[in-house]
Structure 1
Amino acid sequence: MTEGKHAIELDGNLWFTKAETRFLGADRIALLKSIDELGSINKAAKAQGISYKTAWQLVNTINNLADRPLVERTAGGKDGGGTVLTPSGRTMLEQYDIIEEEHRKFLENLEDRLADSGKLYKFLNRVSMNISARNILSGTITHITREAVNAEVTLSLKGNIPLTAIVTNSAIDKLKLEVGGKAIAIIKSSYVIVGKEIDVQKVSTRNVLNGTIARIIEGPVNSEVDIAVGDGNIITAIITHESSRNLGLKEGDPACAMFKASSVIIGIT
């Protein structure tokens, strides 16, 4: 823009967001491309310079927020299976590349039109909220039941999996929640209880999501358990290593993720 060693150039990062949460950006797109090329989460993580655990966390977040899973695991074969992109995942890569190209052209055009580089100091970037909770699930509101102070909100996740949250009436009004609208359910992994062969009629917890154990990472104190429920939804729980051992948890076994309705935070898309 202006000549000299202190010249300022316009730059920017492209992100897709949902419920003020970063969904897809250049780093996650790069991870998806590596998975598509290498057919393995482990190999893709190494290619991107991140840990295997971080790669899985990113994939779970992407799949949970996407309308349809973008990544899926494959079983069998001489190599024992792997990880591949779904047709929706490949379509997303193509669409992102198109948008990224248009975004680059936009920045170049804007840079040409800004005569005074000092104006860039007042050029504000949108700030996205970072959420530390591991479980971020997208769904459609199917029921809202108001009481005196609180309200019960039911979401239908992918695969028609119901999830219930308890929020205040003021939150309903502030977020303008209504039946048929899109929303995000946020649950901390420490709030999730893992069970096997649970009789839902004998537990008080409102949310009992049945599924299959997709992955277990054992630690010296705690274990991280991913449970696949419905069509591409992953619920992550952090439980003690002793609990994991006592339950005899194994990948591929049926299990359920349980959490209170009051432990669910609702956001809007």
Structure 2
Amino acid sequence: MDKELDKLFSEPAFSNRSGRINPSGILSPAEEVKYLDTASLELLEKSFRTWTDEAVRMDVRISRKRITLIFLLIRYTGARLGEILSIDETSMIDPDKLTVRLGFSGIDKEENGIASGSRIVEIPAFLAAELSNAFSMTENAGLKGHFFYLDPAHVRRKFYERAEACGLLREFGNPSAIRRSRAIELIRNNIPLPMVQKILGHSTSSLTSAYIDFSKEDLKQVLRNYVDKESRRKTSARNSFYGLITRINKGDIQSEVEITTYSGHKITSVITNESLERLMFREKSPATAEIKAPWVVVSKDVEEPMSSASNRLNGKVSRIIKGSITTEVVVSLSDGTDVCALVTEQGRVDLDIVEGVDVWVMFSAFSVILNAD
């Protein structure tokens, strides 16, 4: 393997030094940590929304809406209550970029456009829209610039009331419990620990990791899942390519993503921009490319065929499983990866494809399915 590939695959994203502490989706919160699971958070959110919608008078509705939005910001950013109550919405919330700036004191030194004591946290699109609508609705209510300036004790009381209203213990309505719940929710969804640390504004990762723990059974299952996954890669599952994303060409609707495998094969896929963001693909992120057998074309050309197919790989036919109508042709690549093609038996006969001959396997970028590793 050349030096460039060697350097690429020694990066932290590949060598599992990215801080992912929950590679198998298994996690046991530390016993002393009080938190709500996602279902309970959704229940609490529904309680706040119902409470707001039940208000008849406009001034009461606005008051309740402000508290509901404070809850939603803590629930989706993991911020401290004090951070939310000190937000100046005119300068610290950007609905277009879907971001909120937290921990800004107003006197922090700016570096690269961001205050040294602050952090930028992304928020869901629906929350950004709700915030914009609320700011517009209260534009003439004298709240501009201090929409979130409310008494902390009053906010806490309303949080406790909402928790009790939906059958939860009062203590789980505590803003700190909601903040911890968001942290655990993110970690359980495989967000790297250092990233969760930055989102929460913790000074050290030990503060973040204090929320979680692994039981002996968890540890066994995590290791078993990792070893099984590693074994599947080593045995070169057919029509499956594991590697790092080495290039992303983003278009207006779809993006072209290139994966380079450990042995140097380059696989190109075209996916939607929505999928690109949902799977959080970035350059040097690990990913697996899969291709279904009917989408693979076999060519017996000696030289690389002239074709519109983005992916063209050379190998040797290692096995043929004949059928009356269709036939499976298994081609082994130089690194031992098997690519299975499903062709018509008549087509195989016409091309005289037999075991041991050199062939090319080709498939379109649109036929490659990408999975986040």
1:17 Cα shift?
Answer: 6.5
TM-score (structure 2 length as normaliser):
0.38
- Aligned pair count? 154
1:164 Cα shift?
Answer: 0.3
Change (3 A) 1:17 1:264: farther
Counterpart residue identity of residue 372, structure 2: I
8 Å CA contact 1:158–1:230 kept in 2: the answer is no
Report the Cα distance in structure 2 between the residues aligned to 1:184 and 1:253, rounded to whole angstroms.
Answer: 28
Change (3 A) 1:198 1:166: farther
8 Å CA contact 1:158–1:232 kept in 2: the answer is no
1:164 matched to 2:268? The reply is: yes
3-state DSSP of counterpart to 1:202: coil
1:140 is matched with: 244
2:225 is matched with: 16
3-state DSSP of counterpart to 1:232: coil
Report the Cα distance in structure 2 between the residues aligned to 1:196 and 1:158, rounded to whole angstroms.
Answer: 26
Which 5+ residue runs of structure 2 have no aligned equivalent?
A: 1-216
Report the Cα distance in structure 2 between the residues aligned to 1:157 and 1:214, rounded to whole angstroms.
Answer: 21
1:219 matched to 2:323? The reply is: yes
Q: String of CA shifts for 1:163-195, please: whole Å, max 9, x gaps.
A: 100001111111111111110111110011111
1:256 Cα shift?
Answer: 1.0
% identity of equivalent residues? 28
Matches within 5 A, 1:34-113: 65-66=232-233, 68-69=234-235
8 Å CA contact 1:210–1:254 kept in 2: the answer is yes
Q: Which has the higher helix share?
A: 2
2:367 is matched with: 263
Q: String of CA shifts for 1:197-232, please: whole Å, max 9, x gaps.
A: 165462111111111111111111111011112312
Structure 1 outlier segments of 4+, above 4 Å: 198-201
TM-score (structure 1 length as normaliser):
0.51
Q: String of CA shifts for 1:34-85, please: whole Å, max 9, x gaps.
A: xxxxxxxxxxxxxxxxxxxxxxxxxxxx6xx41x4479xxxxxxxxxxxxxx
2:179 is matched with: none
Change (3 A) 1:257 1:167: same
Counterpart residue identity of residue 225, structure 2: F
8 Å CA contact 1:166–1:262 kept in 2: the answer is yes
Report the Cα distance in structure 1 between the residues aligned to 2:302 and 2:245, rounded to whole angstroms.
Answer: 26
Which 5+ residue runs of structure 1 have no aligned equivalent?
A: 1-10, 25-61, 72-133
Q: Which has the higher strand share?
A: 1
1:231 is matched with: 335
3-state DSSP of counterpart to 1:180: coil
1:176 matched to 2:275? The reply is: no
Change (3 A) 1:206 1:223: same
Q: CA RMSD in A?
A: 2.8
Change (3 A) 1:16 1:166: same
Match of 2:313 among 191, 195, 209: 209
Larger C-alpha radius of gyration, 1 or 2? 2
